[in-house]
Structure 1
Amino acid sequence: MPIHEFPPSHAARVRPLWDLDPTIVYLNHGSFGACPLPIREAQDRLRAQMEREAVRFFLRELEPLAAAAREALGAFVGAGPDDIAFVPNATAGVNTVLRSLDLRPGDELVTTDHEYNACKNALDAAAARAGARVVVARVPFPIDSPDHVVTAVLDCVGPRTRLVLVDHVTSQTGLVLPVERLVPELARRGVDTLVDGAHAPGMVPLDLRALGAAYYTGNCHKWMCAPKGAAFLHVRPDKQLDVRPLSISHGANSTRTDVSRFRLEFDWTGTHDPTPYLVLPEAIRFLSSLLPGGIAALAAHNRGTVLAARERLCEALDVPPPTPDAMIGSLASVPLPDGTGEPPPPPFSFDPLQEALFTRHSIEVPVTPFPPPRGRLLRISAQIYNDAEEYARLVDALRAEGVS
């Protein structure tokens, strides 16, 4: 008898709110999100306002609109609005912090072997520029306790450690890491933490003031369902003087004294389309309206769905759940039989099984190398528009491909 039952489905009711391809079983919300129609319509209205009179929009209307978006986002993630800078994505947030650090030869930057490839590349580039060193903590997968994460990271911290970059929710393995334990432990050792929260906003509860990390960056286009291009960087007030945007613009020599230097530099980095983050208040309202109990109920529904779906997949593949339930949010990864030993496919290319599931079964679900070159994971997402039947179709497709 299954331990986890699928929660009541709302898919038929809510799917019309998303303009998803009806011919595709979309089990990959985690990669790029999916923006619902009401939020896109709100963005379209703002874009029309911007194009109707661009000078008025950028020089008279943008500042109060951005302030309202920061207020809404700050309340949602437990942060002061003046401590939030909008960035296009979490990768840009990570790069912003790394470019702002005054690294010296011999300094050490610590991360885990679950870190997102783009951000690991940024870490390597920052270290190479300064003659610093990247130290990689080996976190086991499968894993049976978050204690292994804490031990693995802290064992890599030494007297030359300047920063620890750690995922809040890992991309390949779908683990919710114990950042609320790591951040204070690292602070006691005099080490700052940069939390890569690409998947966290809208999936797990956030209180950035209580967390106390020096830096936290998160995407809003994934589990908050905002348009692509909406993300944030939260910088603790005592660190803000040293953090500068990737593009230096007019704020660098502004004489204004009514806002902080941090805000002056990040609020204007050149002409761009700000509407993805300006509609965050609408995105929060929309997600809050989907279920009684608001976004907390939505996150719980998605987690219940992914736990039940993971259980069915593990049964079909005859593998035990690779992680405890407590380390799962709205993503879950399940080990697949070993690959051929060939090098893993490069970024933005597909494992043959992923391509077969898409082309022969119309199922969009990622198959990722972990650990490369032979290990492979099937990662499922759960959003409210998914239902049990779609995961059953995935199990049937895996059997048809000779996997289970």
Structure 2
Amino acid sequence: MHQFWSFDPKYINLNHGAFGAPPTPVQRASNVLSDQIEESPDRFFRIDWYPMLDSVRERLAKFIGARKEEVVLVQNATVAASVVLRNFEWRDGDILVGMSTTYRGVFKNIEHVRDTNPHITLSDFHLGFPITNAEIVKSFREHIRAIPRPAATSANPDPKIVCVLDSIVSNPGILLPWKEMVKICQEEGIYSVVDAAHSIGQEMDLNLEEAQPDFWFSNCHKWLYAKRSCAVLYVPKRNQHIVKTGFPTSHQYSSPGQPLPADWIKKTETNGDEWAVPFSWPGTVDTTPYLSVNAAMDFREWVGGEAVINEYCQNLAREGGKRLAEILGTRVMDESATFEQTLNMTNVELPLRDVPADKIEFANNVLRDRLLLEHKIYAAHFYHNGRFWTRPSAQIYNELSDFEKMGAAFVKVCKEIEATLKQDA
């Protein structure tokens, strides 16, 4: 499979989860589409674009177990988080729940909502790994139930609680029992906003109509193989009245109570799909990533389909993680017998001990520079719960020997860091 990617032959990519990497057939399809756009930009943007976008939305909706009228495309997961959180009408007494493992870009959106609405309250649910799924569900339920319910007032007759949670944490790369967490939110009358940036193309049987999150979004340019960058945002009909505008606000936006312009309804052939219209034209942007989803899904079917791809990646993540831990003399984070938290990413402790707090950034910078510039190999690395970890991604272009080469590189670089810290002490 490695022949179908454009990597430098000297480079080993074990960090697919960060930025994704489109296969060469997807790149070629995107280039053909780009040439087509430039042959007649006006025809493309005024006529061809809308039915092509609808075909992608239709396919993605089926893939994630939703309806087309509940699915739109945006630039990336951080944009999707911004769209959802900034469309809520925040009032005095409302509560916004985040997690200690929330991706930094999404966390900053939470912070900005608080900064611009100082009358709301933030609640932080802390997660420190290793921890089992049963313990996560138990502590999450306890945290949610311990939140004081805001009292209704004349200024806020219907106070709300909104919880932002992960399906798959970015760092560490852990699959959470997010469907159970969504159910807890439902039971407690709380809106669930699921950051599923890593889910599509990695997590099988999503079936959002059954899981019933209030909001859900995922990057198509990561595990689904689309061109960078593109994300799908799911908003069920019951909550579409909350999301009144995309980001940025399109010239197709209509104020509440005002009908959409008839010409836009005609162009997009909405058939009950009016909510999605303002998302179909976010201004002049590169539309090829959105449309590359079809080529990406075609490639996945040609390779063998979702089950074949993910069976290979999950087996490699598990075996590669164990082999890497052996080389490093450490452990994998998910030590459960069934690998309940491991999909296509594994987490392995690095042999870095007793690093002073003021040297953590230094250690991460050395790891980054040595791995990329000297060893020509990379996997995400981070500091979590008092330890340094790495998060290798397993992809169909990887094999076990990549993990072994990664181990050799980490052993060397970690020894360099420890020697430098000892000398500076």
**Does structure 1 residue 214 correspond to structure 2 residue 214?**
yes
Corresponding residue number in structure 1 for 2:402: 390
User: What is the RMSD computed on CA atoms of the aligned residues?
Assistant: 1.9
* CA shift in 2, pair 1:309/1:48, >3 Å: same
Distance 2:135 2:333 in 1: 14
Corresponding residue number in structure 1 for 2:253: 252
CA positional deviation for 1:266 = 1.1
The answer as to whether partners of 1:111 and 1:137 remain within 8 angstroms in 2 is yes
Distance 1:361 1:367 in 2: 15
Distance 2:382 2:414 in 1: 18
Of residues 87-96 and 388-397 in structure 1, the stretch that sits farther from structure 2 once superposed is: 388-397
CA positional deviation for 1:396 = 1.8
User: Structure 1 vs Structure 2: percent identity of aligned residues?
Assistant: 26
The answer as to whether partners of 1:112 and 1:153 remain within 8 angstroms in 2 is no
Distance 1:72 1:345 in 2: 43
285, 300, 310: which one aligns with 1:299: 310
276, 281, 301: which one aligns with 1:263: 276
277, 294, 297: which one aligns with 1:281: 294
Aligned residue type for 2:341: M
Distance 1:401 1:214 in 2: 44
What TM-score, normalized by structure 2, do the two folds share?
A: 0.86
337, 362, 368: which one aligns with 2:382: 368
93, 96, 103: which one aligns with 1:106: 93
Corresponding residue number in structure 1 for 2:327: 316
Aligned residue type for 1:172: N
Aligned residue type for 1:282: A
Equivalences for 1:173-184 in 2 at 5 Å?
A: 173-184=172-183
Corresponding residue number in structure 1 for 2:79: 92
Equivalences for 1:226-241 in 2 at 5 Å?
A: 226-241=226-241
Structure 1 alignment gaps of length 5 or more: 1-13
Aligned residues: 384
CA positional deviation for 1:140 = 2.4
Distance 1:359 1:55 in 2: 44
CA positional deviation for 1:301 = 0.7
The answer as to whether partners of 1:241 and 1:261 remain within 8 angstroms in 2 is no
Asked which structure has the greater CA Rg, the reply is 2
Distance 2:403 2:218 in 1: 28
Corresponding residue number in structure 2 for 1:38: 25
Alignment deviations for residues 341-365 of structure 1 (CA, whole Å, 9 cap, x no partner): 226439xx95312322223322112
- What SS does structure 2 have at the residue aligned with 1:102? coil
**Does structure 1 residue 190 correspond to structure 2 residue 177?**
no
Distance 1:209 1:357 in 2: 42
Alignment deviations for residues 321-340 of structure 1 (CA, whole Å, 9 cap, x no partner): 32231111111112222433
Distance 1:316 1:133 in 2: 46
380, 393, 398: which one aligns with 1:381: 393
* CA shift in 2, pair 1:312/1:128, >3 Å: same
- What SS does structure 2 have at the residue aligned with 1:186? helix
The answer as to whether partners of 2:332 and 2:347 remain within 8 angstroms in 1 is no
* CA shift in 2, pair 1:242/1:401, >3 Å: closer
**Does structure 1 residue 47 correspond to structure 2 residue 46?**
no
What TM-score, normalized by structure 1, do the two folds share?
A: 0.90
Equivalences for 1:164-175 in 2 at 5 Å?
A: 164-175=163-174
Structure 2 alignment gaps of length 5 or more: 151-159, 255-259, 266-270, 419-425
* CA shift in 2, pair 1:31/1:310, >3 Å: same
